[in-house]
Amino acid sequence: MDRTRDVDVRAGELARAGRFFFERGWVPATAGNFSARLDERRVLITASGRHKGELDADGFLVVGLDNALFTPDRKPSAETALHLLLYRREAGIGAVLHTHSLPATVLSRLSPGGVVLEGYEVLKALPGVVSHTARLEVPVFGNDQDIPRLAQRVERFLGDRPGTPGFLIEGHGLYTWGRTVEEARRHVEAFEFLFACELEMRRLSR
């Protein structure tokens, strides 16, 4: 695929994911950011402050894995450093998606030490999980407006737990990824369903 067409195809996939997430209330009020790998050096990422349910071609720009800007007239997501760390540490990652749903936001505040998901069949939609009996501990990082510093904390954690399929930021939202936009989107759906179940379980068992 030629380079321009590759950008257009990935932008289309990310814009469709944005509409899907917005319809479900997972990216309110311009929240969230999305990216897809273009090659070994560059990723396509959402521009900062755009409404993620209404992304068009202007809503994206190209950044280097070294943080170099390839589209100097547009400002990349404020959370670009979190995306880049993931692409740099794992060549197989093709897309990174970040959402701000109500269940992810509330659960991350209720369980700042990590959210344990156990006993749910949908866990099997996540990489490396083969049974509902699996126990998945989703890490929760304290929120930080210094994103490069937050990215360093995430990077250190993933160094010790490389199989982690996603993480939460406290009172903020979910990051997950996949080999393709489609796979990353499926992981968002699985996590969001699991967080909604977990929140409901806690509400009903009070």
Strand partners, 43: 37, 63
The residue sitting closest to ligand L4RZE5RM, measured at its beta carbon, is 77
Whether 98 has a binding-site annotation, put simply, is yes
> Binders of ligand L4RZE5RM among 81-110, rule CB under 6 A?
98
Tell the smallest beta-carbon distance from residue 123 to ligand L4RZE5RM (Å).
25
Residue 48 near ligand L4RZE5RM by CB under 6 A: yes
List 2, 4, 29, 133, residue binding ligand L4RZE5RM (CB under 6 A): 29
Nearer to ligand L4RZE5RM, 29 or 130 (CB): 29
Using alpha carbons, select from 138, 134, 90 the residue that is nearest to residue 114.
138
Q: Which 8-state DSSP code applies to residue 150? A: H
Whether 100 has a binding-site annotation, put simply, is yes
CB atoms within 10 A of CB 85: 19
Tell the smallest beta-carbon distance from residue 79 to ligand L4RZE5RM (Å).
5
Residue 79 near ligand L4RZE5RM by CB under 6 A: yes
User: Is residue 83 packed enough to be buried (19+ CB in 10 Å), middle (13-18) or exposed (0-12)?
Assistant: buried
Contacts of 24 (CB under 8 A, 6+ apart): 101, 192
Strand partners, 97: 34, 176
Using alpha carbons, select from 162, 168, 119, 118 the residue that is nearest to residue 139.
168
Residue 30 near ligand L4RZE5RM by CB under 6 A: yes
Nearer to ligand L4RZE5RM, 120 or 176 (CB): 176
List 3, 23, 25, 49, residue binding ligand L4RZE5RM (CB under 6 A): 49
Backbone angles phi, psi at 63, to 5 degrees: -125, 155
Q: Which residues are annotated as a binding site for Zn(2+)?
A: 98, 100
Binding residues (CB under 6 A) for ligand L4RZE5RM: these are 29-33, 46, 48-49, 77-79, 98
